[in-house]
Amino acid sequence: MSTRTAEHLPRPAAAAAAPLAPAQAVPQERILLSAPDVGPVEEEYVLAALRSGWIAPAGPELDAFEAEAAARTGAAHAVALSSGTAALHLGLLCLGVKPGDAVVTSTLTFAATANAIVYCGARPVFADVEADTGNLDPLMLTRALDELEAAGQRVGAVVPVDMLGRAADYTRLLPIAHEHGVPVLADAAESLGAAHAGRPAGSFGEAAALSFNGNKIMTTSGGGMLLTDDAGIAARARHLSTQARMPVPHYEHEEVGFNYRLSSLLAALGRAQLTRLDGMIARRQAVRERYRRLFAAVPGTRLLGQGQDAEAPAQDNAWLTAVLVDPEATGWDSGALAGHLAHMGIETRPVWKPMHLQPVFAGAQAVVDGTAESLFRRGLALPSGSGMGEAELRRVEEAITAFLTRAGS
């Protein structure tokens, strides 16, 4: 890291002495679920971008970030955008989703997936998930597509979600969607660096959306990317992301566009994070292994995604580790564990509340069998950040062990 400070840059006085890297954990500091993991490498890249003069959302940092992310995921084209939600929105539009279409997605996801469908004037249809992984269940997808077809409803797209960093079972999902003539947009917001059947997450379907939000496996503070092998989809997404401005000297527009391009400075942050991605994934996997060992001795608990599919082995990026608690077997529930950890200054979060149970989507069509609801009721995501040091991880383990001892497990 450069020891020179950029004196010509206006900074708030209070922040002048603050280091960019998160402070070393002092005992009893709050431990977060997935804090951004940034330090000297990121500082160097962002400062270099700032000094290069390319501040607008265009230029060599953006081009390089797109090329590097495409290389990393095996996609032919990458379009850097202001958020994962923007990537989902443009991805759906570029796949031809139209007002009035149905779009089938997993009910176990973050609201952004469903919101992007609504932005297109389409309606989300929520399908249930597999108990092992929390990913879209191929049988439920088939049922949903058959129901929609029988009702004469046009289906604009299928959007599988790679839950907590494990790629969905595209080996089974893609043929089902394609047999029904429906394109697939993968919500890979959580799964950068993961793989399925030997292929990187983000390379499945007609297009895929990544997120670089602050809590994701890598961050640009806020940002996202649309990945695709289709040059036409990439060109159209790029066009729509820059206000659909035609390539002429004056401002000429033939349709309504969006201001969705990623800033160059944030692309530089993303490039720095990409150089560290493998190390950050390895750390999250090591954290998951520690939780696996801890809960292996506790009957009635298991980690989400623990069951491995021998035919199409999946490689998680271990973005978040969630423990599933069966209160009938343990005598305590995930809420009690969450309460204890909160008291100890440790953040946890229930697994996504299914979209078909959300008030905002109360009227939506759902093809469900209770699996997502059960994962929501039993699942608790534990601190999983790659910036979490050994002392912090031990503090979490000790707090869980103290809870288990008191609960008599």
Ligand X SMILES: *Cc1c(COP(=O)(O)O)cnc(C)c1O
Residue 126 identity (one-letter amino acid): F
Q: Which residues contact 5 (CB under 8 A, 6 or more apart)?
A: none
**Which CB atom, from 214 or from 327, has the smaller least distance to ligand X?**
214
Least distance (Å) from ligand X to the CB of residue 99?
22
Smallest gap, in angstroms, from Cβ of residue 63 to ligand X? 21
Stretch that binds ligand X, among 48-56, 94-102, 182-190, 328-336 (CB under 6 A): 182-190
Nearer to ligand X, 213 or 301 (CB): 213
Residue nearest to ligand X as judged by C-beta position: 84
Residue 190 touches ligand X, criterion: CB under 6 A: yes
Which CB sits closer to ligand X, 161 or 287?
A: 161
How, if at all, do strands 379-382 and 349-350 pair?
antiparallel
Residues binding ligand X: what is the number (CB under 6 A)? 14
- Rg (the chain; Cα; Å): 22
Kindly give the residue spans of alpha helices, DSSP state H, lying in 297-408: 327-330, 334-343, 371-378, 390-407
For residue 208, give the H/E element and its range. strand 207-211
Q: Which is nearer to ligand X, 290 or 353 (CB)?
A: 353
What is the identity of the amino acid at 310?
A
For residue 204, the Cα-to-chain-centroid distance in whole angstroms is: 15
Please say which residue, 216 or 239, places its beta carbon nearer to ligand X: 216
Residue 134 or 295: which CB sits closer to ligand X? 134
Which two tokens mark 154?
């046009």
Which amino acid makes up residue 251? Y
CA distances from 128 to 6, 133, 136, 355, 373 (A): 52, 12, 6, 10, 9
- Shortest distance in whole angstroms from residue 231 CB to ligand X: 24
Of residues 116 through 175, those in contact with ligand X by CB under 6 A are: 161
* Distance of closest approach, residue 191 Cβ to ligand X, in angstroms: 9
x-or-dash string of contact with ligand X, 75-114, rule CB under 6 A: --------xxx-----------------------xx-xx-
Among the candidate windows 45-53, 68-76, 186-194, 335-343, which touches ligand X by CB under 6 A? 186-194
- Torsion sign (Cα): 357, 362, 364, 365: positive
Q: Which of 103, 125, 177, 189 binds ligand X (CB under 6 A)?
A: 189
Residue ranges in 200-239 that form contacts with ligand X under rule CB under 6 A: 211, 213, 224
Work out whether strand 349-350 and strand 301-303 pair parallel, antiparallel, or are unpaired: unpaired
Closest distance to ligand X from the beta carbon of 219 (Å): 9
Q: Phi first, then psi: what are they for 111, rounded to 5°?
A: -55, -25
Q: Could you tell me the two tokens for 91?
A: 């991805």
Q: What is the dihedral of CA 111, 117, 122, 125, to 10 degrees?
A: -60
Contact 153, 98 (CB under 8 A): no
Using the minimum distance from each CB to ligand X, give the nearer residue, 161 or 351. Answer: 161
In the bound state with ligand X, the residue whose beta carbon lies nearer, of 323 and 355, is 355
What number of CA atoms fall less than 13 Å from residue 68's CA on the CB side? 17
Least distance from ligand X to the Cβ atom of residue 213, Å:
4
Closer residue to ligand X, CB minimum distance, 224 or 295? 224
> Which residues pair with residue 77 across a beta bridge?
228
Q: How far is the CB of 86 from ligand X (least distance, A)?
A: 7
Q: Which amino acid, one-letter code, is at 261? A: R
Least distance (Å) from ligand X to the CB of residue 168?
Answer: 11
Query: Which part of the chain contacts ligand X (CB under 6 A), choosing from 93-101, 141-149, 183-191, 304-312?
Result: 183-191
Residues in touch with ligand X (CB under 6 A): 83-85, 109-110, 112-113, 161, 187, 189-190, 211, 213, 224
